[in-house]
Amino acid sequence: MSYWKEFIKGVWEHNPQLVVGLGFCPTLAITTSLSNALWMTLSTAFVLVCSNVLISLIRGIAHSHLRIPLYITIIATFVTIVDLSLNAYQPAVYRSLGIFIPLIVVNCITLGRAEEFAQKNSVIRSLLDGAGMGLGFGLTLIVLSFFREVLGANQLFGYTLIRGMEPAAVMILAPGAFFTLGLMLWAMNTINSRRRSK
Amino acid sequence: MIRDIVKPTLTLAAVAFICTLLLSYVQKFTEPAIKRQKGENQDEALKLVLPGFSVGDAQKISMAGVEFLFWIGKKKVDYKTVKGYAFITAGAGYGGNIESMVGVDESGKILGVSILNQSETPGLGARCVEVANRETLWDYIKNGMPARDYNKERRIPWFQNQFEGIDANAEVRITRRGVWNPEMRPQLLETNAISALTGATITTAAVVQSIRLGMTTLKKALSMRLPDTDGGAQ
């Protein structure tokens, strides 16, 4: 597989949420605003790339029964770095994302990519895989949060869109996340099955 | 034996050691900024909850093993000195403790509430720190972004703003009126009520509950101090 394909597969073919079905927890929870989604994307992508690279580097010394504790230690380290940095330099974002930054540790995507990919592949491929998966994860977040913020809060990046309009609050609540995600899954599957049948 | 137990143990210990070392450096590096943030937050919050008061140093009192932090402020109104009190209180919200600073006057009327820390659900409970925007995105595109001067124009989140004037000694009622705006104030004040955050009643109740708790503690703290000391019981 070419390096480009290794990178780009995370965006569509192996999109973490829409195809593989991982990482639904932050996807549903923090997509209430576009800025949340962007910062979550950056944080998760950073953790994914760093942990993938490091895990790929130590894949020789990781015993089979030692894998999970090792991976979790490494992932938690990078998440803590993100957590402390956001707290120090982006306090507003840190306050807004709250518990979901520490929860990247248990995000299935990071551990999933470590198990699935980084422990079997070279450093460069793991890096590209992490970056691509981060991008794919982020794009899903961005599309989802765009619709939820516009319809559910009548806002974009925190700025009101139409003065005096009462937004559909259900979109900002949990059901809105499920509706939108469901529609995205449906659209994705429809496009894919059309492409396949051609 | 060595292969199965000693070697993995050593590997794991080594990795954990390196990670901890790295993190200790990151923590050392970010700590001053985090501390400064916290200090700035506290100073700003004090100005917000005791507007116009000259505030003394923080006072610490241990109440049933829990530290209670409060401030006494003074302000001259019509040649008379009135006192105001600020305290930090916390209540259990949906995603952890919600820590806020509350300012009250001598009669227990709330002068201001400022939420210092919260980890509520984004878009729901976290809206307790949301600032309501009057301009639309199109206004910004047309007129350009205004140069924001945070010191001149204090942008208070609407949820916190509505506590102003509420009597903290009486029961604070929670109503469902949607996003609060200044026009709603007289009507809500009549019943000593606030408007809940949509979909986040737990957050709203936690803040109200924490104010009640803080108020009780403040009264105890003030009565514990000697009457002749500065700012003691009235």
Phi, psi of B168 (to 5 degrees): -75, -15
What is the predicted pLDDT for the residue at B231? 47
What is the predicted pLDDT for the residue at B56? 84
What is the predicted pLDDT for the residue at A198? 78
Higher pLDDT, B65 or A91: A91
The pairing of strands B66-77 and B54-55 is antiparallel
What is the predicted pLDDT for the residue at B51? 87
What is the predicted pLDDT for the residue at B146? 60
Supply the range of the domain harboring residue A185.
3-197
Name chain A contacts of B138, Cβ cutoff 8 Å. 161
What are the distances in angstroms from CA A195 to CA A100, A143, A188, A191, A198?
36, 22, 11, 6, 5
Phi, psi of A41 (to 5 degrees): -60, -50
Interface size between A and B, measured as CB pairs under 8 A: 107
What is the predicted pLDDT for the residue at B153? 44
pLDDT at B234 over 50: no
What count of Cα atoms within 13 Å lies in the side-chain half-sphere of residue B111? Answer: 24
* CB-CB contact of B208 with B172 (8 Å): yes
d(CA A134, CA B7): 34
Q: Which of B16, B120, B138 is nearest residue A98 as measured by Cβ atoms?
A: B120
d(CA B174, CA A75): 42
What is the predicted pLDDT for the residue at A154? 82
pLDDT confidence bin for B148, thresholds 50/70/90:
low
For residue B41, give both structure tokens: 């937050």
For B79-104, the pLDDT digits (tens) are: 888 899 999 999 999 888 899 999 99
Higher pLDDT, A128 or B63: A128
Average pLDDT across chain B, whole number: 83
What is the predicted pLDDT for the residue at B122? 65
pLDDT at B152 over 50: no
What count of Cα atoms within 13 Å lies in the side-chain half-sphere of residue A30? Answer: 32
Read off the DSSP letter of residue B123: T
Please answer yes or no on whether A63 and B126 come within 8 Å at the CB atom. no
Q: Which of A89, A97, A173 is nearest residue B124 as measured by Cβ atoms?
A: A173
Q: Return the CA Rg of chain B.
A: 22
Torsion over CA: A148, A152, A158, A163 (sign): positive
**Torsion-angle region of residue A21: left (phi > 0), alpha (psi -120 to 50) or beta?**
left
* CB-CB contact of B198 with B178 (8 Å): yes
Query: Closest chain B residue to A102 measured between Cα atoms?
Result: B119
d(CA A78, CA A45): 11
Please answer yes or no on whether B33 and A163 come within 8 Å at the CB atom. no
Please answer yes or no on whether A73 and B119 come within 8 Å at the CB atom. no
ipTM of the complex: 0.80
* CB-CB contact of B199 with A169 (8 Å): yes
pLDDT at B232 over 70: no
Candidates A134, A131, A99, A148; CA nearest to A22 is A134
Please answer yes or no on whether A95 and B122 come within 8 Å at the CB atom. no
Please answer yes or no on whether B27 and A84 come within 8 Å at the CB atom. yes
d(CA B221, CA B224): 5
Helix (H, G, I), strand (E, B) or coil at A13: coil
pLDDT confidence bin for B64, thresholds 50/70/90:
confident
Chain B residues with CB under 8 Å of a chain A CB are 7-8, 11-12, 15-16, 19, 22-23, 26-27, 30-31, 33-34, 37, 41, 95-96, 117-124, 126, 129, 133-138, 140, 198-199
d(CA A10, CA A19): 9
What is the predicted pLDDT for the residue at A141? 95
What is the predicted pLDDT for the residue at B147? 54
Residue-range domain boundaries for chain B: 41-224
d(CA B220, CA B61): 10
Please answer yes or no on whether B26 and A74 come within 8 Å at the CB atom. no
∠ CA A76-A78-A81, nearest 5°, is 110
Higher pLDDT, A105 or B135: A105
Please answer yes or no on whether B140 and A159 come within 8 Å at the CB atom. yes
What is the predicted pLDDT for the residue at B145? 64
Q: What is the mean pLDDT of residues B210-230?
A: 79
For residue A78, the tally of other CB atoms under 10 A from its CB is 23
Q: How far apart are the CA of A190 and the nearest CA of chain B, in angstroms?
A: 30
User: Which residue is listed with tokens 């205004």?
Assistant: B146
What total number of domains does chain A contain? 1
User: What residue type is assigned to position B69 of the chain?
Assistant: L
What is the predicted pLDDT for the residue at A178? 94
What are the average pLDDT values for consecutive 10-residue runs of chain A, which has 198 residues? 89 89 89 91 96 92 82 94 93 83 91 90 94 95 93 82 78 89 94 89
What is the predicted pLDDT for the residue at B11? 87
Q: How far apart are the CA of B177 and the nearest CA of chain A, in angstroms?
A: 13
